Amino acid sequence: MLTFIIRRLLQVPVVMLVLSILIVGLTQLLTPQQRAAPYIRSDQQSARLEQIIRERGLDQPFPIQYAKWLGKTLQGDLGYSTASSKDVIPTIQERLPNTIELTLVTALPILLIGIWLGTLSALNKDKAIDQILRVLTIVGYSLPTFVLGIVLLAVFYGYLGWLPGAGQLNIINEISKGDLTRYTGLLSLDAALNGRWDVAWDVLQHMFLPALTLTIVSVTTIIKVMRNNMLEALTSDYVRTARAKGLSSRVVNNKHARRNALLSIVTLGGFLIIGLMSGSLITETIFAYPGVGQWVVQAALRFDLSAVLGFALLSALIVVLVSTVVDILYGVVDPRVRFD
Amino acid sequence: MTTIPTLTNPTAGRSKWQLFWTGPAVRKLRRNPLAITGLVITLMFSLIALFAPLIAKPSGDCLRDLNITSANQVYNPASGAFWRSIFVPPKTCYKTERLSFAQQPTVPDAAAPFGTVNGYNIFYGLIWGTRTALKMSFIIVAITLTVGIVIGAISGYYGGWVDNLIQRFIDVLFALPSLILTVVILTILRAGNPGGDPTVPIIVSFCIAGWAGYARVVRGDVLRTRQLEYVDAARSMGARDMRLILQHVVPNSVASVLTLAVLDLATVPLSVAALSFLGLGFESGYAEWGQLVEFSRAWLKPEYWYVLAYPAAFIITFSLAFNLFGDGLRDALDPKSR
């Protein structure tokens, strides 16, 4: 077990290294001047273009260039992002907690609703409720995120005016945001910890529509997988044995069948977090939510290479770490899995 | 003395087509009304894409480039314009017809059945957008599939360090979700020439982000197929690697990847539209789905319902129809559910 964990963790830097070689290698299609642009922090510096190219070895052969890039990156210098008018690392520090907050607020309802409806569907196989849920599932995963997001925005903000349309806070609370002591970085939680329930409520209201969009798009996968797992578990031998020895169907369904059906939800939970991260590009843009996804889209629009590169490294790191954790967790919940 | 019963081949005398039509998978698919509805609607979208010039008549520069003076000339199959507009329309035809330069949407009328936004004819944008979407989808899926099959087959057939290298490389690519990988590659490719035509960069980034998934599936199937006896038999008869791969292994290993590719024909247009929605795809005014949805964002009041309702309904219908068909297809091909 321990060696497995260590080996998996050792793979993380290798994957990151190879990925960065690929992406930095791709920038070789550009001229040295274009590659230097990410490091210009102000108009005055644009006069130093040639100097920056020399400093960073941008006109040197690729191995030297990459070595210099790696050196700077390891020192925490990923360049300057024109999209946020800040360096890449501080931008990520400022925006990542918002994306994490949105992901957390979304992931829990998705898992709970998905498990509940999937089980319900399986226990009532081929009955009306199962048929309805199956059709709704197909409709759900047919809805493209960007269309659904805009439609929800139009209905709840444009037509009904029930919910705020954009951002994270209304203007008044935006001003008082600075007074909050940031314990966790998650704005709603921090506001509540500061006793500012009005601010916390405002944040939650702003998160409602993006979270709803992500939930509708992602919950269908969980429902489908849960239904299939549950059906498989219900026809297995140990469930038949449990029934034969006279256990009530509630105990059989909840204790024997569902527990085993839940196993693969651990894996799925990992995929879910990764899916929510890439979904954040679209939802955060629609609802102008100040997370990393919105930033990278703005950056891509301005060909802000340092931001896009930084974001790519960040998401790869998250994906690799999440899948490592999932693999380890899976071994913990399912003792049949052997680590070798 | 025992008599040897004469074996009758139940499929003798039936054409390939009949065998296909009465096979268990097709039979199952045929009996699934939802899947058939989905297939019919999907085919309708393909017809819309193909006959876009006849549904949304060309105007402006498109007319000029087709060398005709009146839009109704495209309806005459005897004229060259009819065939040209359907099979090789000039680039200008993909520009959404612009009826004015006013930003304010105008309500649906005879000239613009779905209304206008920013002066663009929404109907024209949707019809030609269908063509853009399906065209991109076919090109991207075809290239991605070819690359995926070739690399997957090499990886699976040769095994050893080749396989190991390719698979570890794919692991690295999988570290980025495909939308993010696409955005990253697209940004780098376009940074060199920001104002240029985005078609090729879009195709290239989707292919780079997509081939690995196909290659994985093909590799798995090739690993299974290459151990079968008939491959050994062919090898013992002196067939070389190339012949074995092309004639024996690959044709029997692509079924699952082909299903996957068919399903992707529907997801790729939506991803392309999503990119355009974010502003990372086609330039403003190019007939394309995502952009029309993006335009609607500035007009979210009930009186401008048509700006959002038509594009949203169009895209959702396409996606839903294809998914209904895809779901039925997967069900039919899944040996477990038979």
Cβ <8 Å between A15 and B274: no
> What is the DSSP-derived secondary structure letter of residue B286?
B
Residues 249-278 of B with CB under 8 A from A: 270, 273-274, 277-278
Chain segment A150-164, per-residue pLDDT in tens: 999 999 988 888 888
Residue B338: pLDDT band (50, 70, 90) is very low
- Rounded CA separation A219/B121 (Å): 36
Q: Identify the weakest region by mean pLDDT among A117-126, A182-191, B298-307.
A: A182-191
Q: Is pLDDT above 50 for B173?
A: yes
Residue B46: pLDDT band (50, 70, 90) is very high
In one letter, which amino acid is A184? T
Residues 306-325 of B with CB under 8 A from A: 308, 311-312, 315-316, 319-320, 322-324
Q: Identify the weakest region by mean pLDDT among A69-78, A174-183, B233-242, B321-330.
A: A174-183
State the average pLDDT for chain A: 85
Q: Following DSSP, what letter does each residue of B79-118 receive, concatenated?
A: SHHHHHHHHS--GGGGBPPB--S--S-B---SS-TT-EET
- Rounded CA separation A132/A296 (Å): 38
The C-alpha of A130 sits at a distance from chain B's nearest C-alpha, in angstroms, of: 16
> What is the DSSP-derived secondary structure letter of residue A38?
G
Per DSSP, the three-state class of A337 is coil
Q: Is B301 on the interface with A (CB under 8 A)?
A: yes
- Rounded CA separation B322/B267 (Å): 9
The C-alpha of A179 sits at a distance from chain B's nearest C-alpha, in angstroms, of: 33
And the tokens for A171? 């203007």
Q: Which residue of A has its CA nearest to B311?
A: A147
Beta bridge partners of A315: none
A154 chain-B contacts, CB cut-off 8 A: 296, 300, 308
Chain segment B106-135, per-residue pLDDT in tens: 888 877 888 888 888 889 989 999 999 999
In one letter, which amino acid is B14? R
Average pLDDT over residues B276-287: 88
- In the numeric block, the tokens 């087959």 are attached to B153
Q: Identify the weakest region by mean pLDDT among A37-41, A49-53, B249-253, B280-284.
A: A37-41
Q: Is pLDDT above 70 for B290?
A: yes
Chain segment B197-209, per-residue pLDDT in tens: 888 999 999 999 9
Q: At what angle do helices B160-173 and B122-158 cross, to 10 degrees?
A: 150
Give the range with max mean pLDDT: A1-15, A172-186, B284-298. B284-298
What pLDDT is stored for residue B163 in this prediction?
92
What is the distance of C-alpha B129 from the center of its chain? 13
Q: Identify the residue with better confidence: B14 or B108.
A: B108
Cβ <8 Å between B296 and A154: yes
HSE-CB of A268 using CA atoms within 13 angstroms: 22
What pLDDT is stored for residue A88 in this prediction?
87
Provide the Cα torsion B40, B266, B167, B209; round to 10°: 160
Chain segment A213-257, per-residue pLDDT in tens: 999 988 998 898 889 888 888 888 888 888 888 888 888 888 888
The C-alpha of B278 sits at a distance from chain A's nearest C-alpha, in angstroms, of: 7
* Percentage of chain A modeled with pLDDT above 70: 96
CA A1 to each of CA A11, A113, B247, B291: distance values in angstroms, whole numbers, following the listed order:
16, 33, 45, 51
The C-alpha of B73 sits at a distance from chain A's nearest C-alpha, in angstroms, of: 36
What pLDDT is stored for residue B110 in this prediction?
79
Q: Is pLDDT above 70 for B225?
A: yes
A30 chain-B contacts, CB cut-off 8 A: 188, 191-192
Q: Identify the residue with better confidence: B138 or A186.
A: B138
Q: Identify the residue with better confidence: B269 or B253.
A: B269
Q: Is pLDDT above 90 for B316?
A: yes
Average pLDDT over residues A126-139: 89
